[in-house]
Amino acid sequence: MNIDSPGTRRTYSERTVHEGWRAWCKQYLAPENKDVVDVGCGGGIYSLGFISLGARTVTGVDSSAQYLEEARLASLKETNLSFALGTAQATGLPDACADIVFQRAVIHHLSEKDQLAGAAELWRLLRPDGYCAVQDRTLEDVESADPTFWIRATLFEEFPQLLEFERARRPTVHGYANALKESGFVDISLLAYSESRKNYSSFRELEMEIMARKGKSILFELSDSELRRYCDRLRSKATNTSLREVDQWTIWLATK
């Protein structure tokens, strides 16, 4: 997936965070009146989520100028929200500028070396006693057979070769925890989190999103005809299943 290709436009925007994520964030991160940096913000969905929870300021950082433009256009009224071009390893932001650093669905795109550099960057951005929250999917999350995750699970049932693709890129729980520890973080803990991504009003809405490859970089590994095959398989299951997309995630929490 080329994140700056015109074909990926709107892939990670045009969605709001689910109320369940807001409740989780409020419980574990308590962002009200805090300065937040959202590293790998994409279209700014979670940056706006932090604003809605009363963060004092939020700075979203992403390596894609295209996604940052989408994020800016979606948040023109938010005066305490800003965006900056940068990478997970080098955000370009000042030292100790945040009370909370958040990173979602980024580390599986990074090599082990870059994961370590990215963890060091998160540590640099935080003030003393600040909190780091990194949300991503491990291979165990990907392979979960819980019926709740039927939309994602069906993808791997139909195209088992994609599991090899996932095995090559997914972080391990202890491997990334060690990267945080090597970077200086303490009180590292793990949470398993089932996040509701979206409730669909109709199967047609779900189908259109899949065909547009929205929200899942792995869909760019499939051709249009394969995506139609995937949709056909989903349609055969959809009559007796809730049209709610839920995924299993791992969250690493740590303190500076």
- DSSP letter at 248 equals E
Selected residue with higher pLDDT from 201 and 7: 201
Task: Tell me if 191 sits within 8 A of 250, measured CB to CB.
Answer: yes
b (16+ CB within 10 A) / e for 116-149: bbbbbbbbbbbeeebbbbbbbbbbebbebeeebb
Helix%, strand%, coil% for the chain, nearest 5: 45, 25, 35
> Strand pairing partners for 190?
252
Model confidence over 187-196: pLDDT tens digits? 999 999 999 9
Residue 216's pLDDT is 84
| Domains in the chain: boundaries | 6-145+166-200+246-255
Model confidence over 138-170: pLDDT tens digits? 999 999 989 999 999 999 999 999 999 999 999
CA 135 to chain centre: 6
Spatial CA neighbour of 239 closest among 202, 211, 209, 189:
202
Q: How confident is the model at residue 102 (pLDDT cuts 50, 70, 90)?
A: very high
Q: How confident is the model at residue 14 (pLDDT cuts 50, 70, 90)?
A: low
Q: Examine the pLDDT at 202 and tell me if it is beyond 60.
A: yes
Task: Tell me if 94 sits within 8 A of 127, measured CB to CB.
Answer: no
Mean of the per-residue pLDDT values of the chain: 92
Span 16-43, mean pLDDT? 95
Residue 239's pLDDT is 83
Q: How confident is the model at residue 15 (pLDDT cuts 50, 70, 90)?
A: confident
Residue 215's pLDDT is 77
Model confidence over 60-72: pLDDT tens digits? 999 999 999 999 9
Q: C-alpha angle 196/148/254, rounded to 5°?
A: 50
- Give the residue carrying structure tokens 């939020």: 58
pTM: 0.89
Name the class of domain 6-145+166-200+246-255: alpha beta
Span 35-47, mean pLDDT? 96
